[in-house]
Structure 1
């Protein structure tokens, strides 16, 4: 199948049948347009001539781009390409999925951002004043304190 026709069929599928958002479909369109341009630049204009080595070379080329693309963008790009080829194989357009061995890159682990002291104070202020005692509990009593000043010394 011609590349452009395959991409159009896939985008129609994810938009209508899978109900993906317009933004997701637009991102897939950008990714797959770049994929088609890359394939054409390598003399490929039909989906039947795409092999696992071709898909791997495309991903490696994108991963080595300067400036480098973010791991999340590379993962979405791979997802777009895998989705296209999986769709073509599932629909019987192609006999095999050349992207089946493609694995998304590891996402870097990020540490959570800590709150600043001002943010903690604002959060505490928003909760209101601290209650003197909890409902149903007795007020603190000097006899409950521990230590010699509270009469808790040895007799």
Structure 2
């Protein structure tokens, strides 16, 4: 039996990625990327580098703890870089990497879609809530089979 090089093993693993499988690394990454704070941070950085304080102001509702955690995760995954400038107070800037910029276009498009279509979603919700109890439930009407 011939041994595979590390590059061959990575290529074999890459061809086996399936985001529908719970234990697949791509499933885990997709879960992380679908977090609303991740989407908003990446979209905020799509326009260029920002300081931590700018991100806090831009992203309403994010706690300092959650923003810090999100930034660290994105830095670990290679989506953004963090630059610390020693000063009083310390200046910390975040910027998307090339990998992050490729993701930024997608997440910004999703954010833009949500902003553009929220009224249609509200109307659909209202229509749904006006249905009789149990209406629309059953096979063929969106309920799971099985």
TM-score, length basis structure 2: 0.29
Q: Which has the higher strand share?
A: 2
